[in-house]
């Protein structure tokens, strides 16, 4: 069995065995995992809403590059002039 075929609990156990004494490494790993997952979630949201990265940047008041990097962490600060049915469904 390769390391990528492990069940999540077994993978965690191996990470703790290997890096348990290195709390900073474990924190950095968890943050990197969260960033990877949130980037995929933002791509799905853009597809569902039918938004480009530029349009999403305008909605969230950030640069398109921030959307592309998945670094949006807050709700929009201003109203969006797009679809009136989209905005009420936006929850943060």
Other C-beta atoms closer than 10 Å to the C-beta of 67 total 24
pLDDT digits (tens, 9 = 90+) for 6-15: 898 998 899 9
Residues 62, 65: Cα–Cα separation, whole Å: 8
Q: Quick one: angle between helices 23-49 and 53-60, nearest 10?
A: 110
pLDDT digits (tens, 9 = 90+) for 16-75: 999 988 999 999 998 888 877 776 777 888 888 899 989 988 888 888 888 877 666 555
């Amino acid at each position: 069995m390769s390391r990528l075929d492990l069940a999540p609990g077994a993978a965690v156990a191996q990470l703790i065995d290997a890096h348990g004494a290195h709390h900073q490494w474990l924190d950095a790993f968890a943050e990197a995992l969260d960033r990877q997952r949130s980037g995929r979630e933002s791509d799905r949201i853009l597809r569902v809403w039918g938004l480009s990265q530029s349009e999403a940047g305008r909605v969230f008041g950030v640069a398109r590059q921030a959307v592309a990097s998945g670094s949006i962490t807050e709700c929009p600060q201003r109203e969006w002039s797009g679809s009136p049915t989209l905005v009420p469904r936006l929850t943060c």
